[in-house]
Amino acid sequence: MAAAFGGLLSLPSWAQQWTPETVAGSPLLSALEESTLADLAETIIPETDIPGAKSLGVPAYIQKIVNDCMDTKAQETLKNGLYTVSDLAQKSSGGKTFSGMDTNQRLNFLNQLNAGADEETKDFFKLVKSLTIRGFTTSEYFQTNINHYQLVPGFYHGCVPVSTGK
């Protein structure tokens, strides 16, 4: 009992050190990998008259899902795939990074990558595409403005008239 009470008294001193950065855990990706992932997601779902993947926070969603919910194999697939994309983009575009390419170059590059890639790169691309689509379609913007999701279902309109009893 005394130990529990002492723990409650010491709670404020060590809890003051909590910040979003310290609680977030270890980052999965470097800044360059984050940028590449954001540009990949934005290429898959670009910003048009509706917000794109990047502005809806889909890259952060992908990182969170892969880091917290998937095994180390999926985490390595993501990291290795981002490295492969960066490396092949520089080789195929004369030194440009994937982020430095324009939209048409990115689309052509990703189509070529998907068509002629090895199995590991295809697994990476499938992972990023599926998580990008899931992140976009489960976003608040999509659910409220496109899917017209309502937390409470609509009214029940029966097909049989009900009369009051006598």
Look at residue 66 in the predicted model and tell me its pLDDT. 94
Looking at the domain assignment, is residue 151 inside a domain? no
Looking at the domain assignment, is residue 162 inside a domain? no
How many distinct structural domains can be found in the chain? 1
Q: Who wins on pLDDT, 61 or 94? A: 61
Looking at the domain assignment, is residue 77 inside a domain? yes
Q: How confident is the model at residue 57 (pLDDT cuts 50, 70, 90)?
A: very high
> How far does Cα 135 stand from its chain's mean position?
5
Separation CA 105–CA 102 (nearest Å): 5
Look at residue 7 in the predicted model and tell me its pLDDT. 54
Tell me the per-residue pLDDT of 29-47, one tens digit each, with 9 for 90 and over. 888 899 999 999 999 999 9
Looking at the domain assignment, is residue 11 inside a domain? no
3-state secondary structure 80-142: HHHHHHHHHHHHHCCCCCCCCCCHHHHHHHHHHHHHHCCHHHHHHHHHHHHHHHHHHHCCHHH
Instruction: Please give the average per-residue pLDDT across 66-77, as a whole number.
Output: 94
Look at residue 152 in the predicted model and tell me its pLDDT. 77
Looking at the domain assignment, is residue 156 inside a domain? no
- Within 8 A by CB and 6+ apart from 100, the residues are 93
Whether the pLDDT of residue 1 is over 60: the answer is: no
Per the structure, the complete domain to which residue 75 belongs is given by 27-44+53-143
Separation CA 43–CA 37 (nearest Å): 10
Q: Who wins on pLDDT, 163 or 78? A: 78
Looking at the domain assignment, is residue 158 inside a domain? no
* Selection from 129, 127, 29 nearest residue 79 by Cα: 29
